Amino acid sequence: MSSTSDDRRYVLTLGCPDRPGIIARITSFIAEFGGSIVEAGYHSDRESGWFFTRQAILAPTVPFPLDELRARFAAVAAELSPETDWQVLDSAARRRAVLLVSKDGHCLHDLLGRAASGELPATIEAVVGNHPDLADMTRAHGVKFHHVPFPRDPAERGPAFEQVRALVDAHEPDAVVLARFMQVLPAALCEHWAGRAINIHHSFLPSFVGARPYHQAFARGVKLIGATCHYVTPELDAGPIIEQDVTRIDHADTARDMVRQGRDIERVVLARGLRWHLEGRVLVHGRRTVVFD
């Protein structure tokens, strides 16, 4: 999503129970005021009987303000079903991301670099780390870094998580990115950030859930390793998957080699999943995602 005025878009996303006529109803609504649709994705999920769409309307072709577009569309949405779930994003509105990190900096560096190159459709508002290692690099990019030390005993981490929550929430982020955070979020925090907390897991899920997946992969003798970007839910590494990818390895690769090669996949999979999330391309339904990329 770009913010140049010519190219400004209102992005409508919607999910509702499927029935004939939905596309016609929505697109007629847009056509009535002369709106120009520049991207349109539709999906009828026959398994769940649910319908999903994402449509990007050129903002200059909408003859009234965004608020009025939302107010007018609310009536259409209600007419389609009381269960309709929808929103309209403005591509010109700044999106905000907060990153949670630990000691491993490769995903952080990548996202800071993308932000600097204009490749990330969001600003990185702050980085919170349970170790101070990545503070200098973060600040060199002009981004705030908060160090929240975590006690060794998992049972005593409650206050640290409370502090992280407060630091994150202060920025009202559109995305809370666990960029190799290495801490399991408490269930309450998962619920609180539901649909906004995004994790990168360093395996091709559902293979190798939990700790040290590359070592698990080495022990099993797989021929490809991967990474998975998913929404965080209370069940570990089991949230709806946004994106995955793999890379080939062979018998000569040690677990340490896999760690190194895996980083190239982790970086790209996280960056891609995060961009799709920020651009309103990801619709969640149960444990599955619809991605209009």
* Region 125-144 residues binding its own copies, contact defined as CB under 8 A: 137, 140-141
In angstroms, the CA 17 to CA 102 distance is 42
Residues 66-105 binding its own copies (CB under 8 A) are 104-105
Task: Verify binding: residue 237, its own copies, rule CB under 8 A.
Answer: no
Task: Verify binding: residue 8, its own copies, rule CB under 8 A.
Answer: no
Task: Verify binding: residue 271, its own copies, rule CB under 8 A.
Answer: yes
Q: Which is nearer to its own copies, 194 or 268 (CB)?
A: 268
Q: How far is the CB of 68 from its own copies (least distance, A)?
A: 18
- Number of residues near its own copies (by CB under 8 A): 74
Dihedral angle of Cα 21, 26, 28, 34, to the nearest 10 degrees: -160
Q: What is the DSSP string of 40-78?
A: EEEEEETTTTEEEEEEEEEGGG-SS-HHHHHHHHHHHHH
Q: Which is nearer to its own copies, 65 or 221 (CB)?
A: 221
In angstroms, the CA 277 to CA 249 distance is 29
Pick from 70, 96, 106, 196 the residue near its own copies by CB under 8 A. 106
Task: Verify binding: residue 147, its own copies, rule CB under 8 A.
Answer: no
Task: Verify binding: residue 36, its own copies, rule CB under 8 A.
Answer: yes
Amino acid at 17: P
Token duo for residue 236: 């570990």
Residues 166-225 binding its own copies (CB under 8 A) are 204-208, 218-224
Task: Verify binding: residue 43, its own copies, rule CB under 8 A.
Answer: yes
Label the pairing between strands 197-201 and 175-178: parallel
Residue 237 designated active-site = yes
Pick from 12, 30, 200, 232 the residue near its own copies by CB under 8 A. 30
Q: Which of 110, 174, 237, 253 is catalytic?
A: 237
Task: Verify binding: residue 6, its own copies, rule CB under 8 A.
Answer: no
Q: How far is the CB of 269 from its own copies (least distance, A)?
A: 9
Strands (E) across 59-202 are located at: 85-90, 96-101, 123-129, 144-147, 175-178, 197-201
* Binding segment toward its own copies, per CB under 8 A, in 71-79, 80-88, 109-117, 156-164: 109-117
Q: How far is the CB of 277 from its own copies (least distance, A)?
A: 14
Q: Which is nearer to its own copies, 164 or 276 (CB)?
A: 276
Q: Which is nearer to its own copies, 181 or 218 (CB)?
A: 218
Q: For 235, how many CA atoms within 13 A lie in the half-sphere containing its CB?
A: 6
State how far the alpha carbon of 102 is from the alpha carbons of 89, 145, 218, in Å: 32, 12, 24
Q: How far is the CB of 234 from its own copies (least distance, A)?
A: 17
Question: Sign of torsion, CA 175 176 180 185?
Answer: negative
**Which residue(s) pair with 152 in the sheet?**
none
Q: What are phi and psi of 22, to 5 degrees?
A: -65, -50
Q: Which residues are catalytic?
A: 237
